[in-house]
Structures are given as structure tokens and as C-alpha cells.
Chain A
Amino acid sequence: MKLAYWMYAGPAHIGTLRIASSFKNVHAIMHAPLGDDYFNVMRSMLERERNFTPVTASIVDRNVLARGSQEKVVDNITRKDAEEHPDLIVLTPTCTSSILQEDLNNFVERASIEAKADVMLADVNHYRVNELQAADRTLDQIVQYYINKARRRGELPTSKTEKPSVNIIGSSTLGFHNQHDCTELKRLMADLNITVNAVIPEGASVHELKNLPRAWFNLVPYRELGLMTARYLEQEFEMPYVDITPMGVVETARCIRKIQQVINAQGADVDYEGFIENQTLYVSQAAWFSRSIDCQNLTGKKAVVFGDNTHAAAMTKILAREMGIHVVWAGTYCKYDADWFREQVSEYCDEVIISDDNGAIGDAIARVEPSAIFGTQMERHVGKRLNIPCGVIAAPIHIQNFPIGYKPFLGYEGTNQVADLVYNSFTLGMEDHLLEIFGGHDTKEVITKGISADSDLSWNKEAQAELNKVPGFVRGKVKRNTEKFARDRGLSEITLEVMYAAKEAVGA
């Protein structure tokens, strides 16, 4: 048992469902007790999704426990098949129902006989892997399934596309700024004259998967999701992949150069140096920001970085290399892939921390007292308590990570967004000096507290205590309304009864 207050990555089934519901016309059936299907709430609320989330929980209750779930699960699969005509139905248990050790594979086989859709069981160990690993695995499983199916039917394409082309692998629902990143990557590919052959899983149809081998290479922007699929495709079809996250000016350039190398090796003759130089020096504002007088004041400021592998590593490099900020420590919660992270960031920070214990991370922040934190929502929370600003750079996702406006982290527009985030996280420029000299803007002491001195009304102790229970942001309003009510009625003392009567009268 582990005492846990917070989790950086969700349970495995969340990863599986993120993949399944990213695809078009794929339905997921959860074999789970009531309440375990909160994925639907997350997707509907966080992504403000307009469509019903294609996930149905086949509920495990006492009845099902007593009789076994086969009939119910099979019924639910065939029912969804008839109702929604999905191309694929993915069955997944949760941590809880996986303990029942029911033969879900057998349910899938039974249901496949009747269902028109393909039916598969997500093959994930719910106690050994987390959301990120499960997502990677499920995507790989679905791709393999459809490649094999096409191969059996002799439908696999035998040739590449005429012009250089790419599969972008890893953009998914409930991913950190994934939609915006995906748009930005498509724009980048268009600028490089590379055709996007497929984007998976977000918005893709499973029928397209057989065409993946037509692309010249795979681009895997996120370390956590897509690598297994890319490796599988490399092994099966000798497709090269590029797994450099194009985040920050330097890494975006490195990613583009790698793409150039990969497609030139297949017979293209492209030279992206001019494009990189133009973007870096004149289009992206990030490189200019690095040289601007504003950023001068960042020199040597201390920051800490924490997040998933992709974002924490990229952010560490940006801060250290592109902005001259001193990264005291950089950390990741992706313990399963710690070696990679160490190798990526060691030379850019004093210390590397690998942990998924939010308490330990909070202590590590308090210990070094950085000027800014770049972390997850949890570190933002820690920062609030320590009065240290925090820019959020990684999942776990929060509604704030689904902005309406365009805010990618990847590509050249991503470099601008990241520069803004960094800039806004520190106090800078003249403001910094003013704060140092004068100790802040609002130095006036608050003279009166609570009941204003000129009030002709007295609040008795109970009412005063009650008033203090009212949340601060409406307390003033409640007080004003109550006093107005009392004054209108010629009451001089405010008691609990008066307070409630006032509330009823004005609906305050």
C-alpha cells in the first residue's frame, strides 16, 4: 500500500480510453463498477466535447459479481454494435474489474461472432503500467491489428507516396495542448513540403491504418505516446522515425534537420537550412526574445522544471540554452523511462530528480527557493503556497490546458508561446527593480477590518461568526445586504435570524 495524495499519471484504462475515443467511430466498452466511467466526464468537461463520449460502462454490480459478467458484456458489445455501427469496439477492464480475472478474451471472441464491428480486448496490465504506458501500448495494439488484418486480406500498400510524406503519431484526446500542437505540426509539414499521410490516433479512422506504410517516415513528437507504434512500423516496414520533440528553437531546428536527413536518404533532395534560419531569426519571436533587453534580466535566475519526459526535458533545454536561466534541478514523474530523461537533461541542470511523489517534489522546490517553477498543476499549487510563480508545462491535464485560443507548445508558434509563458512567470525588467527598492506596489496597511467603523448597526457574536463563515469574495455583499435589510426595518442589532431573513428577502 502506498499513501498517496496526488497522482501525476492516471490509471491504465484512462490511457486505453484516450486512444480509443481519439479515433473516429471507435467505441469503448468498460467492464467496470458504477462510477469508474468518469473518463466520460473528463472528456466532456475538460475538452468541452460536443459529442457524446463513445465509451459505455458495462456495470459490474453485486448481481454481476454473483453470476459472472459474460452475458452482460457480450450483450453490451452487440448492443453498441447495432446502435452506433462503430468500426471497432475496444473492451477494457479497470484496476478493479481486472482482479476478477474473468476471461474477457473469450467474451470478445463470443461478441465478434455476432458483431459487425471488429472487437478487441485492450491488452494492458492494470497494476504494472500507468495511463501513459497504456496509451502507448493500446495505440500499438490497434495499429498492429489493422496492419495484420490488411496483410491477411492482401490489402497492404506496396509503394510509398510520390512526394515525401509523414505520419504524425501521438496526438490524442485529453493530451496536454495536443490539438494545438497537431495543427502547428501540420503547418510545419506544409512549410517543409511534406504531405501528411496520417495523423493518429486523433481524428483518424481505423480504416486508414493500413495506409500508414505509405509514408516516408513517422514523426513522434511526444516521448510518452507513439514510440511503440513507430518502432513496430520500423521493424515491419523499415520505416524510419524521428523522435525529436520540436519544442524550442534549437530542438525544432534539430528535428527539421533530422527530417531532412531521413527523407534525403530515401531519394529526396531538400535543404531546409534557409527555412530554419528564416524562421529562427525573423519569424519566430522567441530567438529575438532571447536577445532582447527584457530577457537579459533572466540571466542566472533560478528555476526548477518538473513534468512528463517530453515537456520537462524540452523545457529544461529551452531555459538553459535559449534563455540563460539557471535550472537548479529538472525532474520527471516518468520513472519507467528515467534513463532517457537523465541522458537528455544532465548537462543542462545541476541535479536530476526522478519521482512521482508530489510531497518530495514540493520539498525539493522549497529547498532551493527558485524564482520560478515550470511544472504541473501540482507544482502550481505548491508555488502558490510558497509564493513562487509557476508556469504549467505538462499533464496531468486541467481545464486550463484546453484554452480556446491557439496555444501550441510545439513548432515555431510553440516557441513564441513558451517564451510568453517564461516571460510571464518571472517578474521582470523595471518591475523587478521597483519591487526590490520599494517592496511592492501595495504597501498601505489595511486600516479597518471587517465591520466598518461608521456602521450604526451592531452585529451580535453569532451573526458575526456566521458572517465570517461566508466566503471572502461575497462577504462584503452579504454584509451590505443584511445591513440594508436591517436599516429598512429599523433594526439596530443584527442577529442570526436577521441575517437569514435578509437572505430570504433579497436572495443574497
Chain B
Amino acid sequence: MSVAQTEALNFECETGNYHTFCPISCVAWLYQKIEDSFFLVIGTKTCGYFLQNAMGVMIFAEPRYAMAELEEGDISAQLNDYDELKRLCEQIKRDRNPSVIVWIGTCTTEIIKMDLEGLAPKLESEIGIPIVVARANGLDYAFTQGEDTVLAAMAVRCPDKAPEAEKNDRNAIQKLLHFGKKKEEVAQEESEYVDHPPLVLFGSLPDPVVTQLTLELKKQGIKVSGWLPAKRYTELPVLEEGYYVAGVNPFLSRTATTLMRRRKCKLIGAPFPIGPDGSRAWIEKICSVFGVTPQGLEEREAQIWASLEDYLQLIRGKSVFFMGDNLLEISLARFLIRCGMTVPEIGIPYMDKRYQAAELALLEKTCQEMGVSLPKIVEKPDNYNQIQRIKDLQPDLVITGMAHANPLEARGINTKWSVEFTFAQIHGFTNARDILELVTRPLRRNNNLKDLGWEKLVKEEAKV
């Protein structure tokens, strides 16, 4: 394949009919992440049935998550929104007594113009529980951007000054790292850090990954002052003007903007810590902002790559097509290209070229260094057209939403659910292997079955 070095990334907006999960799905992981929270999704039966069936979370989440199901009286404004929400929130307070109630607005509350932001402050002071309002609706957002709406709303609620007394132990991660240590030891440990302005990271990650990334930065002498979100709402990080912030997820552009504009924080624009290449670039960028020369990162990256070799052999030279679902596509594609794969197309529901600028630059650089063509980036793709393109291209792997996986498999195309990358631990050096475990699984499975000759399991060539 010849490579034009001058080639620039090609963006296209197909504005087609595409499927992703509704952004309210973020409650599936956020209620687990923020342990003292209660999520109230204000929407219709359609929203509730989605969470129950497609996400399968309702049954497990019962105690800390519920629907405020809008009925005909609510829609036709015969009932008073404030009174109705008050009744529900009082019941939630009685039953669960959470530290925060997060109202998740939906398409329906948008359309009937329910003034959630107006209602919340009054109700919050009346019932004595903070109410955070996030508009995770499908009119404006796709899938993972739901998290973005929640974090952007929470960013506004972060304290702007830590009370003196608590200052030393408000941060849960620091507490964990200092657990059981004497004061002198803590003080001694503090000296392991270089002197730099406070840094807060944003993005919801499982606790083990939070610890891993915090430790990676600690190795460079960089102290993470807090995470948005924290394990508990009461432990939201302090955000003073001039604090530095860095994101770990590519779908958090609104949160980034809020942190910059409303909280006057300085955003560190870096590629995302996904894959050893991204993780190194992310740490390096943070180091460079604080004037720290990174130690041992190159070796660390090399060592991780070496440990991935068995998986790399399976995917080198193979092609992967992203239909577009969770906005992790650019980062994953960049990592997989570095692994030796080719990517003809990256579908993505929404592309914020500014927030993802560093990631896009790394993608471009990676393609040049690996000597492969730049992928076509298709925003709001049309799934029907994509399936035609997949038929023509016959990629070795398609990363797709759940609705298309089985039909593609039945036509002999290897697939992986994009949603698995949303839920798996994929960030940092440590978890690079887990990404490849997912990516190679369909290839390994189908390798195991290849002698059976069961490739196409539909009779007529599908009328797709």
C-alpha cells in the first residue's frame, strides 16, 4: 500500500440512520462508580424498558436507580412537575437516603420543556439532598456522552476550596495510598512528588484503573489531587481557579469545556491513555506541562509491547472497521493501527475535533509511522451504507453495536461488540492486554472453528 505523506485525515458527516445506545445508559456504570448516589431517570416507559432490557441493569441496580415514569397527566401538564418530583424524591430519601440524587433528563423532558434546572435548587433546599441535573437525551447526545452530561453537571458542584481541617484527608485516593501509614511516612511520601500545580483527572473509570493511573503518574512524581467523579459524591475533588485538569475518556468534551469556562481550570489536551502508546503519550503530555522529564516511560512502553506479542501476531496486517458507537473509536483505532492493523473506516456518532485534537494528531502520526493509509472518519454514519461498504471491503474484523453483530457473523464477518470496550478496563499500560484479549477473541474463536466450514449461515445472499 502506498502512503501519501501529505494526506490529511478525511472527515465526512453522513448524517445517516445509525444505531447507538441511548445516552441514559450512563447510569449503568455511574451508579456503580458513585457509591452514595441515586440516579432518577425522568422519562417514559421507552427509557425504562431500554435500561431494563437492552442494558439489563435495572434488576441489579434496584436500590440506587429508578425511573420517574412520565404518564399522560405529566405530558399534558395536568400535573405539577414540582409536586410530582418532590413526592418521588422524598420517597427516595426515605427509602435510600443517598448523598446526591442525579436527575437524568431525557428526550421527553426536553420536548415537553420540563424545567429541571429550575426545579432542582428549590427542591434540593427543601429536602436537604443535593440534586444534580444532567440532560442525557438522545436528541443531542449519543451513548457514552451521557457520562459527559453528568460529569459536566457535577463539575459545577465541586467545592472551590477545601475546608482547612479536611484538607489533608479529603482525597480518597490519597487516603488509600496512605492507608495505615504514620504521619512521618506520609510527609516523607509527599516529598516523592515534584512541586506542581494541583492536577485533577476527569472521567469515570473502575476503581482499580483509577489506582493504576494515579500510580503511573506518581512514578513520575506527579500527584493526582482528585478525580471527577470520585467514589463518593461527598468526595468530589476541589477545583480552584488555575488547577490543571486532564481527561481520560474521549467523549468528555462538554465536561472539559465546563471545567475551563466555569471553573477556570487549565485543560491538558493529550491523547487518551488507551493502549501503551496512548498511555505513554498521555503521561508525557502531563509531564511536559509540569516541566517533568519522564523517567523510564520508553522502556515501560516497550516492555508492554513485548508482553503483547502473542496477540499482535494474530492481528498484524489484518483490517478492522469501526461502525461507530461509543466515541472510543479514534483511540482504539490509533492503538490497533500501532498494533499493525489497518483501518479503512472509523464511524463515530460525534466528533469534537478540538477536544480530540491531540488524539487525532497521534492517529495521523501513527498511520505515517506504520506506513498505512489514513482511515476515513465518518461522523453520524448511515448503518445501511456501512453494511454495503463492509460487504465490499470484507474487513477481518468489524467493531459494531449489538444490533448488527449477529447478522454480520451469520454472513461470515468477524465482529466484536463495541459496548464491551465501554465496560471493560481498557485504560493505562496495565490493561492494554485486555483490549487485545477482546479484539482477538473473535479471530481466535473463528480460528478454532475454521476447519468446520461454517462460515456463512444464511442461505440467500442477504438483501442488506
Contacts and interface: CB of A to CB of B under 8 A. Distances in A.
A277 interface: no
A191 to B, nearest CB: 30
Interface in B67-86: 67-72, 74-75, 79, 84-85
Given A56-B17, A62-B140, A96-B107, A6 B403 contact: no
A132 B185 CA distance: 65
Contacts of A48: 406
Interface in A29-47: 33-38, 40-42, 44-45
A1 B108 contact: no
Given A11-B45, A36-B46, A497-B215, A3 B17 contact: no
B137 A33 contact: yes
A49 B72 contact: no
Interface stretch (A286-294, A449-457, A461-469): A461-469
Please report whether the interface of chain B is mostly helix, strand, loop or mixed according to DSSP.
helix
B2 interface: no
A462 B177 contact: yes
A503 B430 contact: yes
B23 A35 contact: yes
Contact of A1 (B48, B87, B143, B407): B87
Contacts of A37: 19, 403
A62 B135 CA distance: 13
Please report whether the interface of chain A is mostly helix, strand, loop or mixed according to DSSP.
mixed
Given A7-B45, A44-B405, A38 B53 contact: yes
B404 A33 contact: no
Interface in A89-103: 94-96, 99-100
Interface stretch (B205-213, B235-243, B262-270): B205-213
A298 to B, nearest CB: 29
A353 B458 CA distance: 46
Interface string B174-211: 00110110000000000000000000000000011001
Contacts of B141: 34
B68 A127 contact: no
Contacts of B407: 44, 49-53
A94 B138 CA distance: 13
Interface in B386-417: 387, 401-407, 410
B299 interface: no
Nearest to B387: A52
A500 B209 CA distance: 10
A381 interface: yes
B44 interface: yes
Interface string B444-464: 000000000000011000111
B403 A11 contact: no
Nearest to B436: A507
B429 interface: yes
Contacts of B108: 95-96, 99
Contacts of B139: 33-34, 60-62, 65
B460 to A, nearest CB: 10
B88 interface: yes
Contact of A130 (B45, B68, B107, B137): B45
Given A11-B49, A83-B384, A396-B53, A34 B22 contact: yes
Given A462-B179, A504-B429, A33 B211 contact: no
Nearest to A83: B384
Most buried by B among A35, A51, A83, A461: A35
Contact of A10 (B18, B19, B49, B429): B49
Contacts of B58: 5-6
Given A2-B71, A50-B457, A7 B48 contact: yes
B165 interface: no
Contacts of A10: 45, 49, 53
Interface string A122-145: 000011101000000000000000
A3 B68 CA distance: 5
Contacts of B404: 44, 52
A4 B67 contact: yes
A127 B54 contact: no
A244 B464 CA distance: 40
A96 B462 contact: no
Interface in B102-119: 106-108, 111-112
Given A42-B54, A61-B139, A500 B430 contact: yes
B66 A33 contact: no
A365 interface: no
Contact of A7 (B49, B401, B406): B49
Nearest to B463: A84
B62 interface: yes
Contacts of B42: 1
Most buried by A among B22, B44, B85, B142: B44
A401 B212 CA distance: 40
B433 interface: yes
Interface of A: 1-7, 10-14, 33-38, 40-42, 44-45, 48-53, 56-62, 65, 76, 83-84, 94-96, 99-100, 126-128, 130, 377-378, 381, 396, 461-462, 465-466, 469, 496-497, 500, 503-505, 507
17 contacts: A5-B65, A10-B49, A13-B46, A35-B23, A37-B403, A40-B403, A41-B21, A41-B403, A44-B406, A50-B406, A76-B17, A95-B45, A100-B111, A127-B75, A462-B179, A504-B429, A504-B430
Given A37-B19, A466-B208, 12 more contacts: A1-B74, A5-B62, A10-B53, A33-B22, A33-B138, A33-B139, A52-B404, A62-B140, A96-B44, A127-B71, A130-B45, A462-B179
